[in-house]
Structure 1
Amino acid sequence: MTNSTDTSPERLSVLLRLLDDDSPPVRASVEKALGAFGGDVSELLGESAVKLNEADTELLSLLLLPARRERLRREWIVPAGGAAAVADDWDQFEALLRSLSDYLHDGVSLRQPLGDALDLIAEELEVTGADLGATGINAALFESGRFTANTGEEDDPDNYDLAHVLAGNPSNAVGLGIIFLLVAHRLEIDVDGLLLPRSLLCRYHDDSSVILSEPLVKGRRVQPDDLAHRMRRYPRDIRMIATRAATPGELLVRVVEELATAWSVRGEQEDAELMEELLATLVKAPF
């Protein structure tokens, strides 16, 4: 008898052949057995003799989701101090974003892990960064149109699947801004993020000038008058936050808050509650 923890391609093929059996006992048994694969079978699918149609692929992703939720819970390790303790820890920030990205992945399509994708783009832009600094990185990432805005679905959870974004998919203001910050950090180029409501601006120096760019709008420069006009619309406490560099911990809180809202709006309560669990590790309730 095959062990239930077997994660071989052969074991996966057996489970895939059962996907079209929608009887509750079989469906429950398949979901339980798929849990051993950790929510992701993308690398094994190519080795399987079973070819799935679109409907079966969607069903497989759905059956893998509970395991991805549990893996995220296991991997979500935040210091006792919460978001404040993540203050300048970019490595931990990236590790937690990677866990979120793996959870948001469908578990069936092949792609590079977040860390590998960031390594590749940083290597590609190393000369540009050395010659032109943050201005060159901004041009390569956004002015070129390489990364684009998801203006139609700003609250789509996929906006925060950063591995998905680095594969060439659109994102919202915060997702694109974080990509800029992570690439700049890898290249040891100073770039700050300014968190505004529904936006994230990136601040850096070009010669003796301070530049503000807006990744959401093809990396365009934000003029001082434009920023001042925006600031006048915000309450005093938000203005105070928006004029200083956001810490990795604060960026992480924004991502998890927006994911919680996105899942709630979509009626996906289990995922919304999971985000609330994560948020509770970062900030004290009420959020």
Structure 2
Amino acid sequence: MRRLLDDDSPKVRQAVLSELVAWKEDGLRFLSESAQEKTSSGEAALGLLRELGWDDGRDAFRQFIRAFSYELESGFLLLDKVIRPSSDLIVTRQRLDQLAKRCEELTVLPTTLKDRCRTISRVLFHEEGLRGVRADFNQPASSSLSFALEEKHGLPLTLSVIYLLVARRFGLKLDPVELPGHFMVGCFLGKSTFYVDAFERGRMRNPEEVMAFLHRRNLDDSPQWFLPSTVGDVLRRACRNLVHQHLSAGNAESARLFSSFGNEFDEAYRRAS
């Protein structure tokens, strides 16, 4: 296959593209490795990556970090492109739109904040069957939004971000909440604050229950953990997760990449202070 990458024949090029698409992740891996070569085949592989929409999104994500204007959906879709270059941001957005539309279809007015959160949980965790990853926390793909939507499982942070993005489309302004060793969604809109545990299929917890959750695991229950987290901090945590996942998988080069993103965030915050 490699010797055909720089073939100028339109028929050969189309056949190569079709074969690579059929290979899916193996096709991406093959082109990524070929693109490292300083040859005509390497240049052709780079062009094919761009043509297929599989080009590496690391530069775009770095630019996003340096701009210091963080927005949850944009940040996580750009990060998703780094994790899975073959992902399609438009398709991911459309899927989130569809999930929010389904929530609207199930809503009967009048409704409360908790009722609306229960509707989101019904759609994501019962109809769609999204689950927290149990067997392999160290699989880097479990940090990917597109992977979680396709394969129906992900990390607590990943599922929480999906919940937040669907909620936003559904007219709810919820917040990410970083906890020691866990991640939840917080609702600070009404008189009584509550939290949604996306990893536990949308289980709702009041502040006392979250504190008990932390106590059972001998984790820090300081008041700051119960407050909304910034988008930058959530993205930095996602990058730290990916560093750990890649190190556990023996991917030192990928671990260094995501560690470098953490350094970029640190530098962006330093410049802004």
TM-score (norm 2): 0.73
Check if 1:120 corresponds to 2:98: yes
**What is the RMSD of the two structures over their aligned residues, measured on CA atoms?**
3.9
Question: Given the alignment, which residue of 100, 116, 124 partners 2:79?
Answer: 100
Structure 1, unpaired ranges of 5+ = 43-63
- Relative to structure 1, the CA distance from residue 128 to residue 272 in structure 2 (aligned partners, 3 Å threshold; closer, same or farther) is same
Partner of 1:234: 219
Measure, in 2, the Cα distance between the counterparts of 1:117 and 1:25.
32
Q: Give the Å deviation of 1:216.
A: 0.7
- 2:219 maps to amino acid: Y
Q: Give the Å deviation of 1:277.
A: 2.0
Measure, in 1, the Cα distance between the counterparts of 2:36 and 2:52.
17
Measure, in 2, the Cα distance between the counterparts of 1:187 and 1:170.
22
Deviations 1:221-257 (A, max 9, x none): 2254432224443347xx3431101122111111111
Partner of 1:198: 181
Identity of aligned residues (%): 17
Q: Give the Å deviation of 1:106.
A: 6.3
Partner of 2:147: 164
Q: SS of the residue aligned with 2:195?
A: strand
Deviations 1:15-51 (A, max 9, x none): 769x9xx9x9999454442111336738xxxxxxxxx
Question: Given the alignment, which residue of 225, 228, 232 partners 1:245?
Answer: 228
- 1:213 maps to amino acid: V
Aligned residues: 245
TM-score (norm 1): 0.69
Partner of 1:153: 136
Check if 1:34 corresponds to 2:45: yes
Q: Is the 8 A contact 1:214 1:220 kept in 2?
A: yes
Q: SS of the residue aligned with 1:167?
A: helix
Measure, in 2, the Cα distance between the counterparts of 1:81 and 1:74.
11
Which residues of 2 match residues 1-287 of structure 1 at below 5 A? Answer: 10-11=12-13, 13-14=15-16, 28=37, 29=39, 30-38=41-49, 41=52, 67-68=55-56, 71-78=57-64, 80=66, 82=68, 85-86=69-70, 89=71, 93-105=72-84, 107=86, 113-128=91-106, 131=109, 132-144=115-127, 146-204=129-187, 209-232=192-215, 233-235=218-220, 239-284=222-267
Structure 2, unpaired ranges of 5+ = 21-25, 110-114, 269-273
Q: Give the Å deviation of 1:184.
A: 0.8
Q: With CA pairs under 8 Å and 6+ residues apart, which has the higher RCO, 1 or 2?
A: 1
